[in-house]
Structure 1
């Protein structure tokens, strides 16, 4: 009880301004420790007391209200009206027996409500599971150890560790900062990032000027910091805003809007047809008393209800949710269901190079030293390979060997990466991939153990973007503890600090000739699109030199240059080929050198050999017209800034493209937000990028994007499948009743000429058909394996309807065949009509009723493809067969079980009659097969389909 009160107090209170209080005071107030954080036990206790770090504008919808919402649909109101009409008819008839019609309709209403409730619950569970998969995380101190936890588990008193790219998970008072800048536009509207400072404010200040605080929902764009959490959940500044907002409903997706539009249009049309049918029956039949009028009205209401696929929204949401979960299993985590539609329509994929198109495993490919050039075999972090001599005096005993050892050992020492093999045999790194490349090279030569035993680091001069170098000071234990400065950096910069060069075991002056050769080596590596790094060193003659800092980086001995490449992913080349086959253009956007970008793009098949890359500087020099023209033809962009990415996205969208854009850094967030599908890297992506994106790549692999596009297209095709099925089946029901009434005399359905009221199907039979053939088979088709090649067509246009003119024509044709097969089955059984029969009206109606059910089940297999035969991939969907089998069992039961015979107006059928019903209903299948064959024969492909 006490915990509940505390929780209510936490949620309702206005956040305090802790920027006016000293850091130590705030830490003590929350009984925390700035160096060790909370204990796990205390954190768990506070999580129970205060609740999760979540925003809740409204309370969860109670179960009973969710169940009651299933009865809010206007079509359900029609059914409830039908129950009232049936009860009136029962009363008029003297209340004899049970009101069977009313009871059956009530059972149908309850069954439909149950199905809808279960489907919505499953869809909600699927969406919730996706939300958990994409939940933000935060770095905190727990038990004195740095750990990363879901931001929803943050509690007051936690010590937040903030770094560039982090999304701030809760409000907090800063303890310390190092050039910490936070983007707070989402909260304060300030466009510029705010420089934070842990100092105490002397007077109350606006939110935008509370420099000692960080707030939930903001993003770290630079530097680092440490803060104690002061508010979580609704007791944050963003939570205070949430209190003032009314709950807003999520916008419907374009597909949902179209389905709603189709439902309204179809509903209006069907109601109109129902009115016409009712009026026609009343005019053409001799109505004998109020009971006949009630029966006609009941039939009209039931017809209107049965003809509209009211289960579409629930099925649609569930199919999307299942599809998205299936994509997540393939490392593509889509954050919102609506993004699936857009993903399948992507016409351009703009991708980063490093880690997405390449392995993000920097590999030393070449070593250039004074005595020769060599090439390493092997790629990635697996230290398997050898050094092959290309020119000069190589070999195990040659002078180049000594130079290569210095280059690889020096590069390894002047870095902070680590290389290790996991228990399952996988090689992995910690730290910068470029630095790790030297460690791998060392292991390939087998010199790493000796270097580790010989040298010990005593100081470091870190890398800066201004100096473009990093140095370490090492103790050489083999030479009496002599100190050596080892430097690694950009070759053009490092050479200016060198006065000597290593040649074999000797050191000679770095004269003009030697310098020219070294520069030529660098240019050669750059021409081959390799990233270059040089290594140099110098023994320190005086211990006092250690005080010079960066001044140590002088009079260095140049050792050599390495050429490093991030090898392309093999699967990326295959995926790019698949994307091009699907009509999707792939664009590479990278900050690398243009030559490197062009080489990798050519290797992957994005462009042809020799195609040039545009640089950010060249883009800046273009006017809008030239820029738009360049975007249409150039597919490789190098040395670009985030602002260029955003401009490229805008230009592509203005040209009518649906754009997917990848990114991993904070500055990529605007471009990801602007793109139709923003894709964040799950491994290397920052929290800010993940929040801005609509999809997250769990494996940072470009091939996963193409897999997701294929899955998105397949999901959309499955949606078209069940729409095709539902609409054609329901139109078949409408036409059966309408044509049966209009043509009653033709098929012998006119009461043997007596003019009495005769309907082809009873209201309860129509509702039964709707119950057993709609939800199960439609849902099974929604998870259907691919029957058509989803990647053998260009992207779907953004303005293309899911239900196009071709589908409407197909729906009408199949519905008409269903109706004719049903009515002809009845005619075969009835006396008179086109074919003389001998059976009673009840027997004929049962046969027609059964034929219509089976026709819709045959239609399941037709609807799986607009062009392929139903016999293609016939047994790949076990769920569809299970749904059809269950529907068949239910139909056999309603025909043969005596208690259901009374409820649904049926009579048992003989074996010959069952076979006749199956044969007549199969005409739907044969008609569709002929229609598809003609379409294939004359190459009438659906819109956007590439003919095989």
Structure 2
């Protein structure tokens, strides 16, 4: 094939002659592009993706770390400290100003690196969820990322696909495309090859499919004429400014907490500063700087500056952990919802089962035959039992039945490196596998050629193809497969061996009884029928023009009468071994599991009972029953029904709405294009990664790469763990920062009690310096908080009911704990200072610098002990204490840094510390550990109260 490109990208339109377009693009619609040509065009024209907002330069992202009111306050403190150093004669270095500056830079670097990591994590998830397209390359159908589609590629389109680029239609079979995203028209548009007059609006360009639209019906092929920004979607995108992402509820609450703390501390700081100024009689620049730094200390102590960055990193790490478990969460906000899920509405096929449909039974007029072998590997045989071969008549019926099912199929069975897989619907693939077991595939492919198709839809429940039979004078024949009851209604005769007999009521009843028996064995039943499209004289009933070209779907559909019944196959899609355990785990977690399937009610109920979803007395509610229910009746039914069968996609939406009306948080699975509304309406829309259409994947908030139900339950567990970890590091950060605030605040108010007033010599004195508080936040905030964010499961998160919608992340119980632990930290810190200072409650012998260093060290160690407390609100800190190596690494790093700041001369000068001896360190460790023992005592009391409340609730329930 030659390159043949004579037009710039995007110059072809719907008015150009199709042959001219193909020639200009150097494309053969039957073979597509050569791989080297596609690679060259991709390199020259760039990826097929819309241009987003330009990336923020790194220098600007770094400067963005300083855009915060607290940072402005700290920068003001640098100016004040520098000015005081200048006015006092510039003796030595402006240590306070330098230390604050260095700490600010370190915090900015930390925040920048955390945000960069979160962005990389989100980018990695976007790559996992990227849209894929099926294209022809050298005559072979390949799935490639949509971003790698180039001009001249031939797209293979099927129901549920998202169109990857603007393309001219070259082949269409009942092809309809939803273009609401582009034109606003809600009705799907029929597409067909051709050339149209100039000036038509987008909605009338029926010979072109557009990027970002969705195939809702039929199949087709189209040659790409425009990619990336040179598409209609790209032209619209070019007119739009970048949108601002709305914060999630969790982010809004974190922002509220930060602002609340900031405002409260500014008020407290102002009051304390004014009081100290008036009481202490500030007279020197040094005293003024000390008072200003007191305000800075309170502000820095109260506000967890790194909270937003830590939150983003923890969420992104958690989402990546889910991705490693094959659950791809597209938005971080969905993690919050996962912890609240109370109902999982799951499809059966491929989710609760393995999605490898296998024909096990073949039922024809002459009797029943068995098919050996499981899965897609075509190893096995069709036999009567114990390997006994079929009689001649029964074999003839089986040949027509299995070949007929294969003819009315759009799937493809493939073998690569000894592994068999399918491209398409597993039910259709089961016919291909069974046919190959009988050795019929090559003969069928030589004998028949398809010229038309009436596609399967959930409303029709059948599919038909028009074939040309080359062994019978190229006569046309219609082959139909679908739900046995639906197909049987259209039959007037049935096949016995090589003969055709009239179909009477007795035969109909026997067929339906056989179908019911197969369904009762959890087998999915598919009926097959056919009709020769010739009259009594052997003349085709179709127009000759159709036979030479393509039979429109509406014409094929009109021929689905007077069919000859061939038989029924019974297929099984075995339940996944892990699905039953996952259902039990969901029930243990208070999560109800509901099965919604299009299968026969008996099949659905049997699988549901085997998995523990339904009880022995349960029944399956059918789609017909749902149609008879009004909204009030449906709301009553969903309180009890756990199995829904023979439902259409629109029923899913009604079920979701009814469950949500009872206050449930609903997770809904889906794979078909018509499932998209239900997935969008559900609190958690879960798209199937293997069988799901691209439209469904775009609609869902989560994608299962393995289509496995147990992955949903594992994602709910992980979502609960992530939410617990968020509460852990919030509990830690807030209680630790509260300890700093109360230390500074109470230290000033209680200065005479603990001996600080004597040590100050009459001037303004602080229990901790501003630089020391900055050090505490740098050492004890981000590292341990991040470690808590990836903490393994401490409490059994699946042993409690789902989190209620609207439940606050920081509830009243947590605030009480934050205040209590913060007060304990302040108490042990101030007691340490008192122990070493002369005067106060306990007479000591050290100077102010040593006493302040000891108090500083106690507060750091107390916060590191508090890391262990924060792993659970009720469980002991010693439960599973060594499961988080990152936590111990952060604690060890904190201790080493504190030793350094106490004993290294350079850091001593910077942070106003003095060396401590063994006695000092012992007192600091013992008093700091008081935070741990205090919280352990509180947890013991809380556990006893919880048990009493549980017993009281149980007794009240028993009396009721």
Answer yes or no: same fold by TM over 0.5: yes
The correspondence of residues 724-763 of structure 1 with structure 2, limited to 5 A, is 724-752=731-759, 754-763=761-770
> Bigger CA drift: 642-651 or 97-106?
642-651
1:354 aligns with 2:349: yes
> Bigger CA drift: 711-720 or 522-531?
522-531
1:61 aligns with 2:61: no
1:861 aligns with 2:868: yes
SS in 1 for 2:54: coil
Pairing partner for 2:593 from 586, 591, 594: 586
Deviations 1:269-300 (A, max 9, x none): 11122222222322343434121111111121
Aligned partners of 1:489, 1:624: CA distance in 2, in Å?
A: 31
Match of 1:711 in 2: 718
1:929 aligns with 2:936: yes
TM-score normalised by length of structure 1: 0.88
CA offset at residue 87 of structure 1?
A: 0.7
Match of 1:312 in 2: 307
> Bigger CA drift: 277-286 or 584-593?
277-286
SS in 2 for 1:242: helix
Aligned partners of 2:279, 2:63: CA distance in 1, in Å?
A: 41
CA offset at residue 163 of structure 1?
A: 2.2
Pairing partner for 2:92 from 82, 85, 97: 97
CA offset at residue 640 of structure 1?
A: 1.7
Pairing partner for 1:614 from 608, 621, 628: 621
Match of 1:531 in 2: 524
CA offset at residue 739 of structure 1?
A: 0.9
Pairing partner for 2:771 from 764, 769, 782: 764
| Contact residue 154 and residue 221 of structure 2 kept, 8 A | yes
1:236 aligns with 2:243: no
Match of 2:638 in 1: 631
**Shift in CA distance, 729/719, structure 1 to aligned 2, threshold 3 Å:** same
Aligned partners of 1:175, 1:485: CA distance in 2, in Å?
A: 24
Aligned partners of 2:313, 2:616: CA distance in 1, in Å?
A: 46
CA offset at residue 508 of structure 1?
A: 11
Match of 1:247 in 2: 242
CA offset at residue 161 of structure 1?
A: 2.7
Match of 1:790 in 2: 797
Q: Which runs of 5+ in 2 are unaligned?
A: 1-5, 472-476, 543-555, 955-960
CA offset at residue 92 of structure 1?
A: 2.6
**Shift in CA distance, 522/136, structure 1 to aligned 2, threshold 3 Å:** closer
CA offset at residue 471 of structure 1?
A: 10
Aligned partners of 1:90, 1:404: CA distance in 2, in Å?
A: 104
Pairing partner for 1:458 from 442, 447, 450: 447
CA offset at residue 355 of structure 1?
A: 1.1
Pairing partner for 1:326 from 317, 321, 324: 321
Aligned partners of 1:624, 1:534: CA distance in 2, in Å?
A: 34
> Bigger CA drift: 643-652 or 323-332?
643-652
Deviations 1:188-226 (A, max 9, x none): 110101112332222302222222222211111122333
The correspondence of residues 145-544 of structure 1 with structure 2, limited to 5 A, is 145-366=140-361, 380-381=375-376, 410-416=400-406, 423=417, 428-429=421-422, 432-434=425-427, 436-437=429-430, 448=438, 458-459=447-448, 493=487, 496=491, 498=493, 501=496, 517-533=510-526
Match of 1:52 in 2: 47
Structure 1 vs Structure 2 CA RMSD: 3.7
Aligned partners of 1:636, 1:698: CA distance in 2, in Å?
A: 25
1:811 aligns with 2:800: no
Aligned partners of 2:29, 2:110: CA distance in 1, in Å?
A: 53
**Shift in CA distance, 584/411, structure 1 to aligned 2, threshold 3 Å:** same
CA offset at residue 675 of structure 1?
A: 1.5
Deviations 1:152-171 (A, max 9, x none): 12233333332221111122
Aligned partners of 1:820, 1:641: CA distance in 2, in Å?
A: 65
Aligned partners of 2:569, 2:26: CA distance in 1, in Å?
A: 53
CA offset at residue 56 of structure 1?
A: 2.4
> Bigger CA drift: 201-210 or 487-496?
487-496
Match of 2:73 in 1: 78
Deviations 1:613-654 (A, max 9, x none): 222222222222212222222222222222221222222223
**Shift in CA distance, 452/134, structure 1 to aligned 2, threshold 3 Å:** closer
**Shift in CA distance, 851/40, structure 1 to aligned 2, threshold 3 Å:** same
SS in 2 for 1:223: strand
CA offset at residue 942 of structure 1?
A: 12
| Contact residue 132 and residue 146 of structure 2 kept, 8 A | yes
Aligned partners of 2:183, 2:610: CA distance in 1, in Å?
A: 47
SS in 2 for 1:197: coil
CA offset at residue 587 of structure 1?
A: 1.6
Match of 1:678 in 2: 685
Match of 1:481 in 2: none
**Shift in CA distance, 402/875, structure 1 to aligned 2, threshold 3 Å:** farther
Deviations 1:784-817 (A, max 9, x none): 1111111112111221111111111111111011
| Contact residue 174 and residue 226 of structure 1 kept, 8 A | yes
| Contact residue 412 and residue 423 of structure 2 kept, 8 A | yes
Aligned partners of 1:226, 1:537: CA distance in 2, in Å?
A: 27
TM-score normalised by length of structure 2: 0.87
Aligned partners of 1:268, 1:61: CA distance in 2, in Å?
A: 30
| Contact residue 57 and residue 245 of structure 1 kept, 8 A | no
**Shift in CA distance, 421/113, structure 1 to aligned 2, threshold 3 Å:** same
Match of 1:834 in 2: 841
Match of 1:779 in 2: 786
| Contact residue 411 and residue 438 of structure 1 kept, 8 A | no
**Shift in CA distance, 511/190, structure 1 to aligned 2, threshold 3 Å:** closer
**Shift in CA distance, 409/619, structure 1 to aligned 2, threshold 3 Å:** same
| Contact residue 132 and residue 145 of structure 2 kept, 8 A | yes
1:131 aligns with 2:131: no
Aligned partners of 1:224, 1:900: CA distance in 2, in Å?
A: 72
**Shift in CA distance, 323/546, structure 1 to aligned 2, threshold 3 Å:** farther
| Contact residue 362 and residue 398 of structure 2 kept, 8 A | no
CA offset at residue 561 of structure 1?
A: 4.8
CA offset at residue 117 of structure 1?
A: 0.5
Aligned partners of 2:63, 2:526: CA distance in 1, in Å?
A: 69
SS in 1 for 2:798: coil
> Bigger CA drift: 270-279 or 507-516?
507-516
Aligned partners of 1:635, 1:825: CA distance in 2, in Å?
A: 62
> Bigger CA drift: 856-865 or 223-232?
223-232
SS in 2 for 1:938: helix
CA offset at residue 259 of structure 1?
A: 0.2
Aligned partners of 1:553, 1:185: CA distance in 2, in Å?
A: 35
SS in 1 for 2:758: coil
CA offset at residue 360 of structure 1?
A: 1.7
**Shift in CA distance, 110/212, structure 1 to aligned 2, threshold 3 Å:** same
**Shift in CA distance, 754/33, structure 1 to aligned 2, threshold 3 Å:** same
SS in 1 for 2:887: helix
Aligned partners of 1:230, 1:371: CA distance in 2, in Å?
A: 55
Q: Which runs of 5+ in 1 are unaligned?
A: 1-5, 477-483
| Contact residue 407 and residue 535 of structure 1 kept, 8 A | no
CA offset at residue 109 of structure 1?
A: 0.5
| Contact residue 374 and residue 387 of structure 1 kept, 8 A | yes
SS in 1 for 2:638: helix
Match of 1:691 in 2: 698
**Shift in CA distance, 47/839, structure 1 to aligned 2, threshold 3 Å:** same
Aligned partners of 1:873, 1:607: CA distance in 2, in Å?
A: 36
Aligned partners of 1:679, 1:914: CA distance in 2, in Å?
A: 55
| Contact residue 867 and residue 941 of structure 1 kept, 8 A | no
CA offset at residue 921 of structure 1?
A: 0.6
